[in-house]
Chains A and B, each alone.
Chain A
């Protein structure tokens, strides 16, 4: 039982990392209709920059915030090349973000080398109800909770957030009432970068990150996001937690080698089941 709880907390922390990636995907997809393949890259950029800034001698806190800002800028740049040109279809944009991810490989190797990097997170562990829990895990879970609350407040309560939601539900109507859809799309990419950055900074102390970690991150993030059909953040969050816990339990009970198969197999099953419920006509007309 005690083991189970440890694996559970571990899995929740890992799942929170996926949830932040997934929420970035959802933010970009809702507003622009683009599936941002570079979303995992934002986390990698943030993780690598944080470890580099800490190595240079900046204190904890400052380094992490700076790394998240770098990721946000990366998100904005990716948005500029992916949707900045008029008339780029969402599918072309997907391929462009794929290109942006590969371009980031070149930059990352150039700046930080091709070896995995990590940095220490919160040291020590707490004992909660007789179960030892690493503080970093708790930090990840708490930070994700705060991020999701802030996100829902932003989208639901602020004018800007509502403008973003308007673009998401009907771009044409949004343009008619004077909302600049492209600017909002760029803003969504910046938010995606921010969320990816937060994920990267939180997860890197748990698992060392290297330039090509983005594939695993994006595929897991996408797997979480499909739970919410790429539009609903809360379902994406629950999907991510389920995924993280499933992976962690699999690893804990001796199937560590089959983590990838379990997580991705789960995603495939869910996508196929979802697709049988949708009519082709509806999908093609949107």
Chain B
């Protein structure tokens, strides 16, 4: 099976040089500090963008893990986002404690991924891509018809997130929650990657046969990583449901899944930070174009035309000319100049 990008190289052992550890940890620390400080300086509309950026990053880290490390293409990641959103929404609307809804979102999404993944992960390459997109279409169609999901109108009036007397009312609270989620997701992913199963994943991405003959439980690992990426998407979906207060089938179009692919590919498949960089780059770019598109004097179709065009052009240019993605290309150049 031909692949989009070479499998991420096995990193040199941690702490090989005395100064290298600080150099590696420092940028991450700076980014974390900036992330924490940002909500204080942003107004409400900017906070909304910031929250959506974080949610997209959370899903994209999962996509990057699934595509870049395990070599499995999922064009239906939006389905797990939807499962998370609906799980949180249904539990909260029925009067369950919101916190339980938030915790249930990733669990149910992962469980759904396991149920779907057992048959579907037998498929490879474009078959898996279409199977996952079909799963999302089926799920959306079902959600549009069933009673308990609220049909096409969806679930409205999802209460605010809270525990006991505390209620998360303002946007900055959701921003902290979202970015805490991003940090958690990145930490889990990093630990998976550097572990023994992480190396096994990279092996099965290159050749399942070779991996299996070296004793890698191929089917089980693929399923676990599929469920893990679904859990990330489910967590993001849960936060989305509480923040927006409304979920419907139209909140999770197939295009959403394609956006996550664009973000993962642009940032660099198989890099944890690349997923965040990709999500940030695309979200900010689309947001910037949105500002231009909604400026007075622009035709009403301008925002959608601009955003579709930018998704498409960025995706095509990156796949053809920067197959490693943005982040690896930039870091490689920096390293060369140093």
A residues with a Cβ closer than 8 A to B are 35, 81, 85, 88-92, 94-96, 98-106, 109-110, 113-114, 212, 215-216, 219, 222-223, 226, 257-258, 260-261, 264-265, 267-268, 271-272, 275-276, 280-281, 283-284
Contact = CB atoms under 8 A, between A and B. Distances in A.
12 contacts: A91-B1, A91-B73, A91-B126, A94-B126, A95-B261, A98-B258, A102-B308, A103-B312, A113-B301, A226-B127, A272-B119, A272-B120
B141 A261 contact: yes
Contact of A85 (B73, B265, B320): B320
B313 interface: yes
Size range of the interface on B?
Answer: 35 or more
A94 B129 contact: yes
Q: Helix, strand, loop or mixed for chain A's interface? A: helix
Contact of A91 (B125, B133, B137): B125
A268 B131 contact: yes
Give the dominant DSSP class at B's interface: helix
A163 to B, nearest CB: 23
Given A95-B319, A267-B134, A268-B120, A114 B141 contact: no
A109 B302 CA distance: 9
B8 interface: no
A95 B133 CA distance: 14
Contacts of A223: 130, 134
B254 A215 contact: yes
Given A103-B308, A103-B309, A261-B142, A98 B261 contact: yes
Nearest to B144: A257
A258 to B, nearest CB: 8
A276 B121 CA distance: 11
B311 interface: yes
A106 B141 contact: no
B308 A109 contact: yes
A88 B320 contact: yes
Given A92-B323, A100-B316, A103-B308, A268 B119 contact: yes
Given A110-B305, A261-B141, A92 B319 contact: yes
Given A271-B123, A280-B209, A284-B1, A96 B320 contact: yes
What 5 pairs between A and B have smallest CB-CB spacing?
A103-B312, A106-B309, A99-B315, A106-B308, A89-B2
Nearest to A33: B2
Given A89-B2, A268-B135, 18 more contacts: A81-B316, A95-B319, A98-B258, A99-B262, A99-B313, A99-B319, A103-B313, A219-B134, A226-B130, A258-B145, A261-B142, A271-B123, A272-B119, A275-B127, A280-B209, A283-B124, A284-B208, A284-B209
A212 B250 CA distance: 13
B320 to A, nearest CB: 5
A210 to B, nearest CB: 13
A280 B208 contact: yes
B311 A109 contact: no
Contacts of A268: 119-120, 131, 134-135
Nearest to B206: A284
A74 to B, nearest CB: 14
Contacts of A222: 130
